[in-house]
């Protein structure tokens, strides 16, 4: 049935009107603390490639990132699904929810896996051709810049992400899941009656 991509509360204070394409989005999740130096490095690597780079800092105070390039917007939290609909690239920790939301929007991903199931998610994204992976210890401005440039300029990544978007949407989602459960219950009731 595809991923369980649900609605999240909107944020009327988010400045969507100021975003300039291409929008590049960075979020390393809320469970693992990436810290200001990693987030600052990612922002600096992406700034030359983007119209606007949006960095969701999570637990890290955006002020801790210090002075950032003019085209970088840092906020603790952002309306991720809405932002992904406008993004050209997503740099993520590789959490299942975040990756599914990105692929549901057809956005290629650069995965920086932190732990848990994220290395497996990163490997699968790479296998499917919808993104690339960089190990946390290999995150440098130069490495991230080069990988992000590939994701933005090599059309195969966007095409693979778009194909996954189509597949996810055709899978049926929560409505198909409800139909499948109801059909299973109906079949179970029918067997009990015989």
According to DSSP, the β-strands at 109-111 and 87-92 are: parallel
Class of domain 17-193: alpha beta
Q: Closest Cα to residue 25, out of 61, 51, 60?
A: 51
Instruction: Report percent pLDDT > 70 for the chain.
Output: 94
Tell me the per-residue pLDDT of 65-122, one tens digit each, with 9 for 90 and over. 999 999 999 999 999 999 999 999 999 999 999 999 999 999 999 999 988 899 999 9
Tell me the per-residue pLDDT of 31-75, one tens digit each, with 9 for 90 and over. 666 789 889 999 999 999 989 999 999 989 999 999 999 999 999
- DSSP calls for 71-126: TEEEES---HHHHHTTEEEEEE---HHHHHHHHHTT--EEE---STTHHHHHHHHH
Domain ranges of the chain: 17-193
> Where are the alpha helices (H) located in the chain, listed in sequence order?
36-46, 80-84, 96-104, 118-127, 141-153, 155-170, 173-193
In the structure, what pLDDT confidence band is assigned to residue 190 with cuts at 50, 70 and 90?
Answer: confident
CA 77 to chain centre: 13
Residue 169 predicted with pLDDT over 90:
no
Task: Quote the pLDDT of residue 192.
Answer: 75
**47: three-class secondary structure by DSSP:** helix
Residue 5 predicted with pLDDT over 80:
no
Enter the pTM of the model.
0.88
Non-local (6+) Cβ contacts of 97 within 8 A are none
């Amino acid at each position: 049935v595809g991923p369980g991509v649900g609605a999240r509360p909107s944020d009327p204070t988010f400045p969507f009107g100021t975003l300039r394409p291409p929008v590049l989005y960075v979020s390393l999740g809320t469970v693992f603390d990436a810290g200001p130096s990693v987030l600052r490095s990612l922002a600096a690597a992406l700034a030359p490639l983007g119209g606007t780079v949006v960095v969701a800092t999570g637990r890290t105070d955006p002020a801790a990132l210090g002075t950032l390039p003019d085209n970088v917007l840092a906020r603790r939290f952002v309306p991720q699904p809405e932002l992904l609909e406008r993004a050209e690239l997503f740099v993520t920790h590789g959490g299942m929810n975040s990756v599914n939301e990105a692929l549901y929007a057809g956005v290629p991903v650069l995965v920086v896996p932190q732990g848990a199931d994220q290395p497996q998610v990163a490997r699968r994204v790479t296998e499917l051709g919808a993104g690339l992976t960089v190990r946390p210890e290999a995150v440098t401005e130069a490495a991230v810049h080069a990988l992000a440039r590939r994701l933005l300029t090599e059309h195969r990544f966007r095409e693979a992400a778009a194909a996954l978007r189509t597949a996810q949407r055709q899978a049926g989602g929560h409505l198909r899941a409800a139909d499948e459960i109801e059909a299973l219950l109906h079949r179970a009731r029918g067997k009990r009656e015989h």
